[in-house]
Chains A and B, each alone.
Chain A
């Protein structure tokens, strides 16, 4: 402002006016832009705030009032929820399934990506196209056959049908192949071979450590995807004790038709871990989405 006044001495009043007007409209524009940004951010966060606040109130209050501040009924709601739904068991089940299938997904994606990137053999390009082609198939096309096939393998009501398919992740292979192409120098592999390392050993000792940044990025997305998986566990698992968290949340809705407090507590238990996870690795997640978008 001081600088502006200094200049104002040297120019005509008219020009000062237009300059001031321009400044005002610039500030107004900035204000409008920030207002829009904050408004959208508010809409993104307010359902989560509402969910947390509502979970701390008694059912009678939830039904009657607009709740803006936390109450003191959280533990009562929580106890009613865990009396009927083994929600922490579901949490542990989901964690187990997610970790094992993410590990399988990462290992075999890296292995196959490396196999497509650094080797030459007959039919390699056709096989890679076939991998990419599997990405086009909609997920639920084979769901009925999957159910019947798992029945004849006696794998219904076990975790095998949820974990083993993670070995074949087409996007993971595509991603890992790109990473091998760009960040694994062929000289390192050659020096490993000269030292007499076996091919598997070369992969474990030399390639996998170099792929770690890519493994971390793919791992985060594989983890989120598996954590949120709903249809497959719902049709494969029958026992309540084996069920995953998303299916339990869905069943909470039908079991507690009027107990809103307990339902909100269930939602909170499902969202909070993701919130914590996201606030720790949000930078990595966002750069991962951007990297994936550029590749696509």
Chain B
């Protein structure tokens, strides 16, 4: 009986050719079910909630565009947008330069211990961002932190610097932590890009007697440009959503390090103004969308020029 059954099954399969098409569809269904329940439904529900007044205790009451008109006049939110952009720019530019320089150095043949350097530079990237935030807030504490102690013992400063009392120093510290965490990752991406440049190009340039500097500026950088642009664009999406580490470093003096997502979190889950939080979430989404579109357009314009 069993043998007959499996034989029958075999015949059936042979008839229906290679592609068991409906199975392929069944295999991708779990993704969509899970995405609809835990991804799309909450997004749509958030949109609805952003048109209501909801404090988490009573039922949501429809209020139309009230949250959005409040958002347009919310100076805190504008400040948070500005802070996020400043911190992002302060971290991304030095980060990309450092990552590019290190990638080009580590791509040289004579360097020894390549794996060690790559591993050490990449390591901060996998540490829990919250932990890093706490660690750096302790290290930069102005009375007890080790940074001030170190600077004082080597004689760079005489009195401890109150880092988190200055808006710009606070922003630089937040940007520095972000940079410190991500340059290694970008460096690995750049190394992958460098390794895809054909070896013959370098050899030809060396035969022609080009110096290392000429090779770097005339061959490496132009060929690496697409990778650089790609990294820059993807960093916008991540950079505008800064949250974990800045939250641990605090709001800064006069809310100078309050990022957009921190404002969303504090509005919704600290002040229990969930519906206004939903409106902020949508505003952040629109801002990220605009910046992504601008940068995509910009990179396309670059392509046309070439």
- Among the 9-residue stretches B5-13, B74-82, B87-95, B161-169, the one with 4 or more Cβ atoms under 8 Å from chain A is B5-13
Known contacts A62-B144, A149-B41, A196-B13: A115-B28 contact under CB 8 Å: yes
Interface of B is mostly: helix
Contacts of A245 in B (CB 8 A): 128
Chain A residues 257 to 283 lying within 8 A of chain B, measured CB to CB, are: 260, 263-264, 266-267, 270-271, 274-275, 278, 282-283
Report the minimal beta-carbon distance from B155 to chain A, rounded to whole angstroms. 12
Number of interface residues of A (CB under 8 A): 97
Contacts of A168 in B (CB 8 A): 30-32, 34-35, 38-39
Q: State whether A246 touches B193 (Cβ < 8 A).
A: no
Distance of A195 Cα from B14 Cα, bound (Å):
10
Q: State whether A289 touches B185 (Cβ < 8 A).
A: yes
Distance of A186 Cα from B18 Cα, bound (Å):
9
Chain B residues 12 to 47 lying within 8 A of chain A, measured CB to CB, are: 13-14, 18-28, 30-35, 37-47
Q: Does B100 contact A (CB under 8 A)?
A: no
Distance of A41 Cα from B48 Cα, bound (Å):
49
Contacts of B31 in A (CB 8 A): 108, 112, 131, 167-168, 170, 173
Q: Does B271 contact A (CB under 8 A)?
A: no
Q: State whether A167 touches B188 (Cβ < 8 A).
A: no
Contacts of A190 in B (CB 8 A): 18
Report the minimal beta-carbon distance from B151 to chain A, rounded to whole angstroms. 10
User: Which of A41, A51, A227, A252 has a CB less than 8 Å from the CB of B117?
Assistant: A41
Q: State whether B18 touches A246 (Cβ < 8 A).
A: no
- Among the 9-residue stretches A81-89, A116-124, A209-217, the one with 4 or more Cβ atoms under 8 Å from chain B is A116-124
User: Which of A65, A144, A227, A285 has a CB less than 8 Å from the CB of B281?
Assistant: A144
Report the minimal beta-carbon distance from B196 to chain A, rounded to whole angstroms. 7
Contacts of A252 in B (CB 8 A): 134
Contacts of A120 in B (CB 8 A): 19, 21, 24
Contacts of B118 in A (CB 8 A): 286
Known contacts A121-B25, A138-B237, A196-B13: A165-B38 contact under CB 8 Å: yes
Known contacts A119-B19, A147-B274, A194-B13: A294-B192 contact under CB 8 Å: yes
Distance of A115 Cα from B54 Cα, bound (Å):
42
- Give chain B's interface residues, CB within 8 Å of chain A: 6-7, 9-10, 13-14, 18-28, 30-35, 37-50, 54, 98, 101-102, 105-106, 108, 110-111, 115-124, 126-131, 134-139, 143-144, 146, 149-150, 152-153, 180, 184-185, 188-189, 191-193, 195-196, 227, 230, 234, 237, 240-241, 243-244, 247-248, 261, 264-265, 268-269, 274-275, 277-278, 281-282, 284-285, 288, 292
